[in-house]
Amino acid sequence: KSMRLGFLLIAAGLLSLLGLGCCWLRPALQERGGGGSANCTVLAVRQLGERFSCTFSCGAACRGTARYPCLQVLVRTSRSSAPALLHEDERQLRTNPQCSYIPPCARDDQENSENVTYKQKYWKEKVGSQPFTCYFNQHLRPDDVMLKRTHDETVLLHCFLWPMVTFLVGVLIVVLTICAKSLAVRAEAIKKKKHL
């Protein structure tokens, strides 16, 4: 039984490492590959006239759509003099590449507008011309920068660490089982010699 458990853990570790590597780790590394960090300063903060739809949830069977205004925060990076559009993270960039901020979707359009206006004031008054760290990827999106990364080093570490731990525990169980069987055979042989 312990050998079976060991081989099962080895297989699970290898399969999860392969699955995470193909489906999640490789795209995350590609996203990070052409990028880096830079210092950003705000050039302009503006609301576009266009409104976008978002989906809110108000219970298990309650869903609906609301609208929010588009806030754009244009920044200058220390890497380039061309203005770039700031986004919260990669997920937000994929959800709506035209806007810098997507508010938590509320049922009331007015509440969504207030959230966006609050964020606009924050960028204008609190941040202003103070430099802050931002992240970019020259190859994938040269005209966009992110405030934070979705795939940081700790997530990548966990993506690799836990499948390896599972694999090594499986190997350890198999090795200990083989050693235990070998010791049992030797003990039996020594016992027979003593009786002769």
Query: 0.75 cut: is pTM over it?
Result: no
DSSP 25: I
Nearest 5°: CA angle at 131, between 129 and 137? Answer: 120
Q: What is the pLDDT of residues 48-98, one digit of tens each?
A: 888 898 888 877 777 888 899 999 999 988 877 788 899 888 788 888 889
Q: How far apart are CA 48 and CA 70, in angstroms?
A: 5
Q: What is the pLDDT of residues 141-178, one digit of tens each?
A: 778 888 887 655 566 666 777 788 888 888 888 888 88
How far apart, in Å, are the Cα atoms of 51 and each of 39, 87, 102?
A: 30, 17, 11
Structure tokens at 52: 């976008």
